[in-house]
């Protein structure tokens, strides 16, 4: 069951045939055009564009222009868009809530964010995804009254103003906002589709290394039990390289992507802090649940570098590999894209996973 958690759910039961899914990264916008074909999904086209600005939040006007450019580059006929919110702008947490309807859950959360989410979160919209209980509840012993068990719920929250701005921008771009979802759930949804067996059976960590941030989600037999955001991504790696080698950021970026062997040890120093942060999350889970994470699956732009993934592997002392979010998709890409998809795929993970939330 794919995690939905839409702050905006335009379809409410209606199934779209085609969908544009846009992952607004802090450095690179990733978008995919997907199509439902019976039981399977096809990837028709993708696009990577520089984010309009990557320091401040976008104005709706700028975002509208950007979305127009994305739509054009995709050559899409459909106007339905799913937009994912960056990991820093939308929280996702497992919470225990009483057995009440989802609409009431939203209100309960809104009125007591401190109680349920351990922080004040004013002016937020919330959505809830009820985690299906694993074992059926035991029948009550006759004559004994039992407390009604609480529900495990995955809660997502984002600023109302941001969701409104996104809706405005999509409309002003001449498109139709179908879903607005937290980007954090992208890797989990894409993983369920691409590796259904590992999803159902294993305890895995999904790490998405972005530009400014990286996220880690731990899935225990399909249940998202922990998620964290770490303020280290590809940007820090490049900036660190530039400083250590006394070269410009642009040069360092070129060297990082070209992966000259002589910079390996310098780069390793930069990967270290990220590895440490991720290891802390793994430790937290492993102590709490008393079981190891069997595998770390890495996505995001940085996962395009096999060498960096290997460095993380030695840092984390856990099996670490990149994976292919398109594994279960039918690839119906035009010429050059069909050739390059293998390289690009890790960077499309969030966009593909968010599309799955909407289909």
Ligand X SMILES: Nc1ncnc2c1ncn2[C@@H]1O[C@H](COP(=O)(O)OP(=O)(O)OP(=O)(O)O)[C@@H](O)[C@H]1O
List residues near ligand X by CB under 6 A.
25-28, 86, 210-213, 233-235, 238, 253, 256-257, 300-302, 304-305, 308, 347
CB nearer to Mg ion: give 131 or 158: 158
- Using the minimum distance from each CB to ligand X, give the nearer residue, 106 or 313: 313
CA–centroid distance for 336 within its chain: 26
Shortest separation between residue 260's beta carbon and ligand X, angstroms: 12
Using DSSP, state whether 179 is helix, strand or coil.
strand
Q: How far is the CB of 97 from ligand X (least distance, A)?
A: 29
Within 13 Å of residue 21, how many CA atoms lie on the same side as its CB? Answer: 28
In the bound complex, which residue of the shown chain has the CB atom lying closest to Mg ion? 210
Query: Could you say which of Mg ion, ligand X, none residue 179 binds, taking C-beta under 5 to 8 angstroms by partner kind?
Result: none
How far apart, in whole angstroms, are the C-alpha atoms of residue 114 and residue 93? Answer: 13
Among Mg ion, ligand X, none, residue 301 binds (CB under 5-8 Å by kind): ligand X
Residue numbers of the site for Mg ion (CB under 5 A)?
25, 210
Give kind and range of the element (H or E) at residue 297.
Answer: strand 295-299
> Shortest approach of Mg ion to residue 109 CB, angstroms?
26
Q: Which runs of E-coded beta strand occur in 79-195? A: 80-85, 90-97, 124-130, 151-159, 176-182
Closest contact distance (angstroms) between CB of 164 and ligand X is 21
Tell me which H or E stretch contains 69.
helix 60-74
Q: Read off the tokens for 210.
A: 């972005």
**281 contacts which partner out of Mg ion, ligand X, none, CB within 5 to 8 A by kind?**
none
Which of Mg ion, ligand X, none binds 257 (CB below 5-8 Å, type-dependent)? ligand X
Q: Would you say 312 and 275 are in contact if contact means Cβ atoms under 8 Å apart?
A: yes
Question: Of 116 and 191, which CB lies nearer to ligand X in the complex structure?
Answer: 191
71 binds, among Mg ion, ligand X, none (CB under 5 to 8 A by kind): none
Return the number of the residue (203 or 302) whose C-beta is nearest ligand X: 302
> Environment class of residue 60 by beta-carbon count within 10 Å: exposed (0-12), middle (13-18) or buried (19+)?
middle
213 binds, among Mg ion, ligand X, none (CB under 5 to 8 A by kind): ligand X
Query: Pick from ligand X, Mg ion, none: which does 349 bind, CB < 5 to 8 A by kind?
Result: none
Q: Binding partner of residue 353 among Mg ion, ligand X, none, CB under 5 to 8 Å per kind?
A: none
Q: At closest approach, how far in Å is the CB of 210 from Mg ion? A: 4
Q: Report in angstroms how near the CB of residue 50 gets to ligand X at its nearest.
A: 9
Q: In whole angstroms, how close is the CB of 142 to ligand X at the nearest point?
A: 54
Nearer to ligand X, 129 or 256 (CB): 256
Query: Smallest distance from the beta carbon of 291 to Mg ion, in angstroms?
Result: 29
- With respect to Mg ion, which residue has the nearer C-beta, 182 or 275? 182
CA distance 5 to 153: 11
DSSP 221-288: TTEEEEEEEES--HHHHHHHHHHHHT--HHHHHHHHHHT-GGGHHHHHHHHHHHHHHHHHHHHHHHHH
- C-alpha 349/C-alpha 353 separation (Å) is 6
Report the sign of the C-alpha dihedral through residues 230, 348, 50, 245, in that order. Answer: positive
CA distance 292 to 205: 10
């Amino acid at each position: 069951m794919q995690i939905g958690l839409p702050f905006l759910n335009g379809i409410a039961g209606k199934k779209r045939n085609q969908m544009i899914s846009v992952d607004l990264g802090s450095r690179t916008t990733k978008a995919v055009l997907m199509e439902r074909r019976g039981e399977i999904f096809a990837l028709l086209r993708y696009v990577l564009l520089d984010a309009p600005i990557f320091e401040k939040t976008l104005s709706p006007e700028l975002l509208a222009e950007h979305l127009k450019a994305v739509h054009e580059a995709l050559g899409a006929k459909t106007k339905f868009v799913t937009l994912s919110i960056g990991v820093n702008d939308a929280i996702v947490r497992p919470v225990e809530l009483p057995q009440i309807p989802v609409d009431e859950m939203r209100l309960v959360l809104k009125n007591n964010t401190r109680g349920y989410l351990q922080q004040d979160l004013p002016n937020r919209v919330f959505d809830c995804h009820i985690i299906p209980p694993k074992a059926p509840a035991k029948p009550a012993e006759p004559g004994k009254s039992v407390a009604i068990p609480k529900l495990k719920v995955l809660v997502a929250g984002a600023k109302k103003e941001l969701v409104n701005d996104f809706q405005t921008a999509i409309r002003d771009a001449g498109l139709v906002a179908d879903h607005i979802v937290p980007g954090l759930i992208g890797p989990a949804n894409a993983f369920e589709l691409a590796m259904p067996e590992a999803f159902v059976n294993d305890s895995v960590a999904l790490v998405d290394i972005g530009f400014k941030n990286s996220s880690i989600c731990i899935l225990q037999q399909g249940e998202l039990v922990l998620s964290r955001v770490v303020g280290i991504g590809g940007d820090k790696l490049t900036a660190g390289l530039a400083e250590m080698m006394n070269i410009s950021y642009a040069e360092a970026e070129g060297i990082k992507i070209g992966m000259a062997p002589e910079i390996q040890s310098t780069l390793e120093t930069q990967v270290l802090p990220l590895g440490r942060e991720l290891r802390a999350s793994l430790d937290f889970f492993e102590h709490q649940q008393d079981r190891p994470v069997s595998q770390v699956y890495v996505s995001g732009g940085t996962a395009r570098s096999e060498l960096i993934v290997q460095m993380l592997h030695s840092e984390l002392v856990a099996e670490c590999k990149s994976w292919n979010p398109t594994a279960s998709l039918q690839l119906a890409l035009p010429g050059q894209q069909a050739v390059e998809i293998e390289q690009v795929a890790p960077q499309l993970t969030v966009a593909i996973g968010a599309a799955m939330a909407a289909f």
